Structure 1
Amino acid sequence: MSIPAGREWLPYCGAAPVPADLLGRWNLDALLLAGIGLVALLLWRAGETGVQRRLTIAAVALALFLFVSPFCALSSALFSARVTHHVLLAAVLAPLLIYALPEAKTRWPGSLGLWTGVQAVTFWLWHAPGLYAEALSSDAIYWAMQASLTLTAMGFWGALRRASALTSVAALLVSTVQMGLLGALITFAGAPLYAPHFFTTEPWGFSALEDQQMAGLIMWAPSAGLYLAAALIIAQRWFAAEDRGIAA
């Protein structure tokens, strides 16, 4: 287990913290805060209902947690925190952003099948060890990772919003399976794969392999469960509508 000679990991969120330092590691990047503020303003002005504005508040709060709070620094130390970060981007922040907007403003080109595939490929690519390592050594690549994960997920949830119930359930089940499969592959890898975390997990009480296994389990169960829960909600509403139609 070695890091290439001369290679230093310089994550956007800063060097990996130790537990005693974590609470002081707020990311007060002025450009980031301005960007979040601008998005919040645009969403607030675009929202047409109280529900949409409450979703805007929730999306902004989550973005602040992911990129400004000490959780950002924690994701430099633990791959499991980074995976949690990515899951929250794709399965929570993206739908919040989509549903905070009127439906007419989320009609991106492309079918639900296309966006299901694009989202899956994007998620798998950024968790390939080599590309992941590049993202933790370059701010430009880091933001390319964050933007592509969020935008492809928004494309998925936007297409889901306008699809039929049957198509939506099928797409969500496919997403559940692919997320669980990637999580399983990471969980059962026999050795640490993610070089930026080879030497950052010990202060937190985990070996690099244990942290990686925890990350895989997070992706395998809770994250896949989010897509499955959405599928079950849509299916329940679909069956309830069918029952009302029969009763009428």
Structure 2
Amino acid sequence: MTLMANGQSAAYCGPPARPDSLWPAWNGDPWLIAALLVLAVAGGVLAVRRGAKAGLRNPALLGAWLLAFALFVTPLCAMAVALFSVRAVSHLVLVAVLAPLLAYGLGGKRLTGGLTAASIVHAVIFWFWHAPSPYTAALSHDGVYWLMQLTLLTSGVWFWRALMARWRDVAAVAGTLAGFAAQMGLLGALIAFAPDPLYAPHAASTAVWGLSALEDQQLAGLIMWVPGVLPYLIALGLAVASALNEGERGRAK
């Protein structure tokens, strides 16, 4: 954990990023860099073992690694300290893009059930970390910060692996994705229409970006409410298209 000039603890990634000092705001945490290097090596070993049989799984793993690097090493991490709207984008990328890429890229034995449990746990964790008190705690202590990130990611991977295991059950997939998109939209609406700023860590860091704390919060809510549901709707479209293709192949045989 770093300390600011006034002696107070700063969020992971350091002080809130400012437009005039954005480029130097890279995260050089040696433990994080070492972990990413270990994961890169492990992914490379897995890719070699799979060979040409991997299909799109190796590119999916690479995409997940690059997204993790972007979220936690580049200045996006410090921007998420400054702006709750950037934090909302970061969390959506984590659970709705990185998590499914990782779930698909890892391959292996798929879950045979538990889609309902995975959906509920993942949703509860997402809502929990976006409540003001847990969110403030996460930005005040590095251990709590990583607990937030890892529980969001692992529950997201569980959710997507359970969903992929039921991919041919279009009704189950459609119901799950529609429900998850709806709860994401509801959370976004509650945040967007809150009459007062809810997230104290961003109270003093949004003005340099031309936003009040309330405007930044409203923008974050809109991001969750509208763009935030798109990955789930895209996944629904892919599931339906896959089912239609399988139906056509079945009729052709």
Equivalent pair of 1:165/1:238 in contact (CA under 8 Å) = yes
State the Cα distance separating 1:193 from its structure 2 match. Answer: 0.3
Decide whether aligned partners of structure 1 residues 109 and 152 sit closer, same or farther in structure 2, where only a CA change above 3 A counts. farther
1:207-246 pair list within 5 angstroms: 207-246=212-251
State the Cα distance separating 1:178 from its structure 2 match. Answer: 0.7
Identity over aligned pairs, percent: 43
> Matched residue of 1:100: which SS?
helix
Aligned positions, number:
241
Decide whether aligned partners of structure 1 residues 73 and 113 sit closer, same or farther in structure 2, where only a CA change above 3 A counts. same
| 1:124 lines up with 2:124 in the alignment | no
Instruction: Give, in whole Å, the separation in 2 of the partners of 1:189 and 1:83.
Output: 16
Instruction: Give, in whole Å, the separation in 1 of the partners of 2:136 and 2:7.
Output: 11
Instruction: Give, in whole Å, the separation in 2 of the partners of 1:241 and 1:165.
Output: 12
> Matched residue of 1:13: which SS?
coil
Instruction: Give, in whole Å, the separation in 2 of the partners of 1:235 and 1:110.
Output: 20
1:4-83 pair list within 5 angstroms: 8=8, 10-47=10-47, 48=50, 49-83=54-88
State TM-score, norm by structure 2.
0.90
State TM-score, norm by structure 1.
0.92
Considering only aligned residues, what root-mean-square deviation do their CA atoms show, in Å? 1.8
Q: Deviations over 1:180-229 (max 9, x none)?
A: 11001101111100000111100000000000000001111111111111
Amino acid aligned to 1:160: L
Structure 2: unaligned runs, 5 residues or longer: 1-5
Instruction: Give, in whole Å, the separation in 2 of the partners of 1:9 and 1:85.
Output: 22
> Matched residue of 1:28: which SS?
coil
Instruction: Give, in whole Å, the separation in 2 of the partners of 1:247 and 1:100.
Output: 30
Q: Which residue of 2 aligns with 1:205?
A: 210
| 1:137 lines up with 2:134 in the alignment | no
Amino acid aligned to 2:183: Q
Equivalent pair of 1:40/1:56 in contact (CA under 8 Å) = no
Q: Which residue of 2 aligns with 1:169?
A: 174
Structure 1: unaligned runs, 5 residues or longer: 1-5
